[in-house]
Amino acid sequence: MPISATLSISSGVTGTLLSVEFQQLGRVEIKLSQKPRKHCIYGHRFPSYKCFWQVPRSRKLKNFKPRELPLHFAYGKDAEDRSLSNLSEDTDEMFDELFKKYGKVVFRGNDQKLPSAEVDDDVESLSYPLLVKAAKGHLVSRPPAWMMRQAGRYMAVYRKLAEKHPSFRERSEMTDLIVQISLQPWEAFRPDGVIVFSDILTPLPAFGVPFDIDEMKGPVIQSPICLEEDLKALHPLDLEKLQFVGESLKILRKEVGDYAAVLGFVGAPWTIATYIIEGSTTRTYTTIKSMCHTAPHILRALLSHLTKAISEYIIFQVESGAHCIQIFDS
C-alpha cells in the first residue's frame, strides 16, 4: 500500500512543501543539509533548503523506474495552504521539531498506518529506551545489553541480602525486596534493561497451584496434576494475589525513567506445565512425555488453562509498567 507523507521545508525567504507518494521504497531518511544545493533522487532533481529525502537503494527497488516516483512542490503561501486531508493540524510542527532535534524520521514501506499516525509514533519513539527501540525494529546506534536473568549469585550484594532473607519466596514476593534486588545490576552496571526480580512460578498460586521452593532442590509442587479430576483445582487467574509484581514494576519504571527498559517475564505454557505435572525440576520430562500419549486430553486442558492465565499475566505486567516481556521456554 503506498505511503503518503508531507514535508515542510523552510528556507530563508519562502516556505516549501514537498508531497511524495512512496511505493514500497523501504526505509526513507531525512538528513540535514549544510548548504542549499540540488540533490538527485533517481533522476529527479530538486532544491533543498534545510533537509532532503534520501531513498537508499535496496533489493525491493530492483525494478524501480525513476519516473514512477512523483514529486510535487509548492512555494510560499501555496505551501502553507496545501496539505493532505488525513493529516492532523499539528503534523508539520511535529516534523519540524523532529528535524531540529534529530535530523531524521524513519518510515517503513510495509507500514499501512496513516501518515499522521506515523508522525505520532515517531515522536513517541524518540523517548523510548534503547532496548525498546531495538525490539520495535527502529534504527539504533548499538545493540542493547542487559542481564537476561535477574540479579543472581554473581553479585556479592545480592548474596549478602539473601543471607538476611533466606527465603526465595520472601525475596520475590515482597515489593521492597523485589525493587531493591531488581535495581542491583542497574546501580552497578547501568544495563539497557532492568528485569523485575521474580520467578516463572510466581503466578501459580494465583490460579490454583500452590508451590514451595526448597533452597537445595528448587521448586516443589505439592499436588502435581496427573489425573483429570486434578484439573478441578484450577481457577481463573486472580490478579489480586499478584499485586506485589504490579507495584514493583510501577516503582521500577519511576526509578529508571527512560534510561533503561523495564522487563517483565513469564514462563511459556509448556515450561510451566512440566513443573505442574512433574512436581519439581526435571531433566527427563518422563511424566509429561508419557501424558502426551496416555492422556493427551488432560495435557491439552492444562495447556489451554495456562495459556489464558499467562496471557492475562503478561497484559497485567505491561499495564503495570513493563516495556517488554521475556518469555522463557524449555
Q: Are residues 198 and 256 in the same domain?
A: yes
pLDDT of 74 reads 41
User: Does position 253 have pLDDT exceeding 80, yes or no?
Assistant: yes
Task: Please indicate, yes or no, if residue 149 is contained in any of the structural domains.
Answer: no
Q: Are residues 252 and 291 in the same domain?
A: yes
| 229, 301: one domain | yes
Residue 148 maps to a domain? no
Q: Which residues contact 230 (CB under 8 A, 6 or more apart)?
A: 223, 224
How far apart CA 288 and CA 276 sit, in angstroms, is 9
104 versus 240: which is more confidently predicted?
240
Q: Is the pLDDT of residue 308 over 80?
A: yes
Q: What pLDDT is stored for residue 214 in this prediction?
A: 84
Band of the pLDDT at 216, cuts 50, 70, 90? confident
Q: What is the pLDDT of residue 55?
A: 41
Reported confidence tier of residue 161, pLDDT bands at 50, 70, 90: very high
Task: Please report the sign of the dihedral spanned by the C-alpha atoms of residue 200, residue 205, residue 210, residue 214.
Answer: positive
Interatomic CA distance for residues 250 and 262, integer angstroms: 9
* Together in a domain, 201 and 318: yes
Digit-coded pLDDT (tens) for 23-50: 333 443 444 444 444 444 334 444 433 3
> Is 117 domain-assigned?
yes
Same domain membership, residue 181 and residue 52: no
What's the DSSP call for residue 220? E
Q: What is the average per-residue pLDDT within 114-140?
A: 72
| Residue 213, domain member (yes or no) | yes
- Pair (189, 308) in one structural domain: yes
In sequence order, what are the residues at sequence separation of 6 or more whose Cβ sits closer than 8 angstroms to the Cβ of residue 181? 150, 151, 158, 161, 171, 197
Whether residue 231 is predicted with pLDDT greater than 90 in this model: the reply is yes
H or E element, residue 287? helix 286-294
Same domain flag for 58 and 113: yes
State the average pLDDT for the chain.
Answer: 74
Q: What is the mean pLDDT of residues 117-145?
A: 79
- Could you tell me the maximum CA-CA distance found in the chain, to the nearest angstrom? 81
Q: What angle do CA 194, 197, 203 make, to 5 degrees?
A: 125
Q: Whole-prediction pTM value? A: 0.64
47 shares its domain with 167: no
Instruction: State whether 90 and 173 are in the same domain.
Output: no
- Identify the pLDDT of residue 57: 43
> Chain-centre distance of CA 22, in angstroms?
27
Residues 191 and 317 in one domain: yes
The reply to whether 94 and 216 lie within a common domain is no
d(CA 251, CA 196): 10
Instruction: For residue 72, tell me if it sits in a domain.
Output: yes
pLDDT at 168 over 50: yes
Question: Which ranges of 75-215 does DSSP label H, i.e. alpha helix?
Answer: 76-81, 91-101, 115-125, 130-135, 156-164, 168-173, 175-189
- Looking at the chain, the whole-number percentage of residues with pLDDT higher than 70 is 60
Domain closes at, from 79, 104, 126: 126
Sheet of 71-75, strand order: 3-10, 15-22, 71-75
pLDDT of 123: 52
What pLDDT, on the 0 to 100 scale, is given for residue 302?
98
Domain end residue (candidates: 85, 109, 126): 126
Contact between residue 114 and residue 103 where contact means Cβ atoms under 8 Å apart: no
Q: How many domains does the chain have?
A: 2
Reported confidence tier of residue 330, pLDDT bands at 50, 70, 90: confident
Per-residue pLDDT at 79 exceeds 90? no
- Identify the residue with better confidence: 234 or 63: 234
Q: Which residues constitute the domain of residue 196?
A: 156-328
What pLDDT band is residue 89 in, cutting at 50, 70 and 90?
very low
Both 107 and 164 in one domain: the answer is no
Instruction: Specify if 255 maps to a domain.
Output: yes
Task: Establish if 299 belongs to a structural domain.
Answer: yes
Is residue 170, in this structure, part of any structural domain at all? yes
Q: What is the CATH number of the domain that holds 292?
A: 3.20.20.210
